[in-house]
Amino acid sequence: MKFGVLVFPGSNCDQDTYHVISDLAHQPVTFLWHDSPSLENCDAILVPGGFAYGDYLRTGAIARFSPVMQSVKKFAADGGLVLGICNGFQILCEAGLLPGALMRNTGLKYVCKPVHVRVENSATPFTNTCSLGEVLTIPIGHMEGNYFCDQATLEELHRDHRVVFRYATSAGEISPSANPNGSLDNIAGICSAGGNVLGMMPHPERASEPELGGVDGMKIFHSLVGVMAGPATSPR
């Protein structure tokens, strides 16, 4: 198995994500440059956080046109595993791999802090080492993490169990007080219809070592490694 970490001008979590895969998950990994269409025979693609192209137009709006993203779209359409983190989630929405959009946080302030997220679907390639309803503590760091979609899309996401993470209290309660950015229905992460693409605003790579204050984020990466090493896990 082989992981690929995309690198855009302005990416700032690409090295962190690479470190987690290489030094903690002990898996082969390579950087994939935005200007090249080659995915170098990678088996999973990670779209890291940061400020791709400076977010000068709109978060993820310029990155979606990169040559590498055209290859990622085809890769995902063929069932390939794609994980978008923070700015990566924004890029996946802009590229049409996931529905909806990430808008500015309510309060119009950058928010950077650990949050609690409840696992709403534990049967995806990204959450199979988690328990349904488990509460994970993972940091966020964003200005535009306010997830929004129309009512029909929201109903579809719920019907097909595509809401994977929701902001919650430490006890697992879904409440406005636990929502750090105004996200619709406390949504922190969703997956594609096929379950092979996940976008999430929290940064699992920032919760991967005890030195960082917690290791809950490693469950995401261990899930990916496990599913790549064995039979694929379908979303429930």
DSSP letter at 221 equals H
Residue keyed to tokens 């994977």: 164
What's the 3-state SS for the chain? CCEEEEECCCECCHHHHHHHHHHHCCCCEEEEECCCCCCCCCCEEEECCECHHHHCCCCCCCHHHCHHHHHHHHHHHCCCEEEEECHHHHHHHHCCCCCCEEECCCCCCCEEEEEEEEECCCCCCCCCCCCCCCEEEEEEEECCCEEECCHHHHHHHHHCCCEEEEEECCCCCCCHHHCCCCCHHHEEEEECCCCCEEEECCCHHHHCEHHHCECCCHHHHHHHHHHHHCCCCCCC
H or E, element range at 192: none
Assess whether 86 carries a catalytic annotation.
Answer: yes
Residue keyed to tokens 């898996």: 27
CA 79 distance to own-chain centroid: 17
Give the active site residue among 42, 86, 93, 130. Answer: 86
Assess whether 205 carries a catalytic annotation.
Answer: yes
Q: Supply 233's token pair.
A: 């896990």
Catalytic residues: 86, 203, 205
